[in-house]
Amino acid sequence: MTRAEHIQALLEDYARQRTLNELDEQRRYNEAVAKVPRIAELRAESASLALNAMRSILDGRTAEDRAAVAANMKARGLAINAEIRGLLRQNGLPADALEPRYRCPVCRDTGYVGDAPARFCDCFEARLRLRQYEDGSMAGVDEQNFSKFDPEFIPEADGQRDKMVKARNMCARYADSFPATEYRNLLLTGEGGLGKTFLLNCIFERVTSRGFSAIRITAFRMFEAMRQQHVGNDDKYEGFSTLIEVPLLLIDDLGTEPMMRNITVEYLFTLLNERNAAKRHTVIATNLTPKQLMERYGERVSSRLLDKTICGSIQLKGKDLRQR
C-alpha cells in the first residue's frame, strides 16, 4: 500500500470509530433515561434553548435586551447540565455518563486538529507510522539516506571503504528493485559503528519514497509488540500483526531485545516464519555473528535468518565510524 492508501484506510478507521462512539453514547443515554425519565425532558429542553434564544434575540429591541437573552440561555443551560449530573449521581450512575467518549480526546477521533488548514493529530501520525513507517525511535530519513553517503568519511585501511561502497551499492539495488529483489531478505552483520543502521535507514527511505509501505523498528520495540501480543490485554491491539503483514519490515539491532521465556524466541520465529511463508521482505541489522545468532535463538530461528536461498548477507568490518 502507498502512503495515500494508508491515510485513506486510517481515515476510514477513524470514521468507524466515530460511529462506534455515537452508538455507545446513545446506549448510555437510553440506559440513563430508562432509570430517570426526567433526563429526556431536560435534554429536549436543552436542545431547544438555542433556537428559542435566537428567536428572542431577533425580537429584541435593544442591545441590552439581546445580551440579557444570551445570558439567560447560558444560565439555563448550566442549570440543566447540573440537574442532569445530579440525577445521574442520585441513581448510581457516573456524573459524566452522558458525556462523549473518544479514543483520542484531542482530535475527538477525527484524526485532525487545528483550524484550516488542519493537520493530522499526533494520534493519527503515530498510527500512520506503525502502519507504514517507523516506531518513532529511529533517525530521520532526511539525515540517513543514500544521498548522504560519503565514502570519504570511511577509512581506506584494510579495504573498509571499498567494502562499504559495495554494501551501499547492494542495498541501493535492493531498494531500487523492491519488490522484485534478487534476494527477498537482507541480513546486515558486523560490530557496532560500522554503518549497518545507516544502510537500513537508506533502504527504508528509498523504498518508501517510491510509494511502497514499510516499517522500520528497533529490536526492543519489536519485543514490546511481541510482549503486548502475548499478554493479550487489549483486544484491539494489532501491532504484532502489522509487523507480520507489512510488505517490508526493517529490524535494527536484533540481539539487543530482552530474552523472555515463551516470548522472544517463539514470537520471533512466528514473525520470520509467517513473513517468509507469505513471501514478504525483511531486512535485519545485528551485531551478532551467525554463530551467536544460533546460540541466542536456536536452530529454528537462525535457519530462517540465515537461509541463503532467500537472504542476501552483508558483513561489515573495520573501525568504528562513530569514533572518527
Task: Please report the sign of the dihedral spanned by the C-alpha atoms of residue 207, residue 208, residue 214, residue 218.
Answer: positive
Q: What is the pLDDT of residue 2?
A: 66
If asked whether residues 302 and 225 sit together in one domain, one would say yes
Q: Looking at residue 322, what DSSP letter applies?
A: G
Residue 13 pLDDT greater than 70, yes or no? yes
Annotate 113-160 with three-state secondary structure. ECCCCCEECHHHHHHHHHHHCECCCCCCCCCCCHHHCCHHHCCCHHHH
Residues 20-38 have pLDDT tens digits of 999 999 999 999 999 999 9
Provide the grid cell at 284. Answer: 535485519
- The closest of 301, 299, 237, 295 to 275, measured between CA atoms, is 301
If asked whether residues 61 and 184 sit together in one domain, one would say no
If asked whether residues 159 and 304 sit together in one domain, one would say yes
At 212, is the secondary structure helix, strand, or coil? Answer: coil
Q: What is the pLDDT of residue 186?
A: 94
- Return the amino acid letter for 300: R
Is residue 10 a contact partner of residue 109, using CB atoms and an 8 Å limit? no
User: CB-based contacts of 262: which residues, under 8 Å, 6+ apart?
Assistant: 230
If asked whether residues 70 and 213 sit together in one domain, one would say no
If asked whether residues 307 and 179 sit together in one domain, one would say yes
In the chain, % of residues over pLDDT 90: 40
- The closest of 160, 164, 32, 138 to 95, measured between CA atoms, is 32
**Of 113, 147, 175, at which residue does a domain stop?**
113
Q: Is 128 within a domain?
A: no
Q: For the beta carbon of residue 71, count every other beta carbon within 10 angstroms.
A: 11
When pLDDT is cut at 50, 70 and 90, the band that residue 294 belongs to is very high
Q: Is 290 within a domain?
A: yes
Q: Is 124 within a domain?
A: no
If asked whether residues 202 and 249 sit together in one domain, one would say yes
**Of 63, 81, 113, at which residue does a domain stop?**
113
Q: What is the pLDDT of residue 182?
A: 92
Provide the grid cell at 24. Answer: 455507545
Domain of residue 73: give its range: 3-113
If asked whether residues 52 and 147 sit together in one domain, one would say no
If asked whether residues 22 and 166 sit together in one domain, one would say no
Average pLDDT across the chain, whole number: 85
Is residue 208 a contact partner of residue 305, using CB atoms and an 8 Å limit? no
**Of 54, 80, 113, at which residue does a domain stop?**
113
If asked whether residues 153 and 291 sit together in one domain, one would say yes
If asked whether residues 108 and 152 sit together in one domain, one would say no
Q: Is 295 within a domain?
A: yes
- The closest of 166, 207, 201, 200 to 186, measured between CA atoms, is 200
User: CB-based contacts of 179: which residues, under 8 Å, 6+ apart?
Assistant: 212, 247, 248, 281
If asked whether residues 171 and 289 sit together in one domain, one would say yes
What crossing angle do the helices spanning 3-35 and 122-132 adopt, rounded to 10°? 130
- Return the amino acid letter for 119: R
- Of 157-166, 229-238, 281-290, the least confident: 229-238
When pLDDT is cut at 50, 70 and 90, the band that residue 233 belongs to is low
Is residue 240 a contact partner of residue 225, using CB atoms and an 8 Å limit? yes
Number of domains within the chain: 2
Q: Residue 165 sits in a domain of what CATH number? A: 3.40.50.300
Cα distances (Å, whole numbers) of residue 33 to 36, 92, 218, 309: 5, 13, 50, 66
Residues 166-194 have pLDDT tens digits of 998 999 999 999 999 999 999 999 888 88
E strands, 185-317, are 185-189, 214-218, 248-254, 281-286, 311-315
Residue 60 pLDDT greater than 70, yes or no? no
Residue 120 pLDDT greater than 60, yes or no? yes
Q: Is 123 within a domain?
A: no
Q: Is 81 within a domain?
A: yes
If asked whether residues 140 and 283 sit together in one domain, one would say yes
Q: Is 156 within a domain?
A: yes
Q: Is 120 within a domain?
A: no
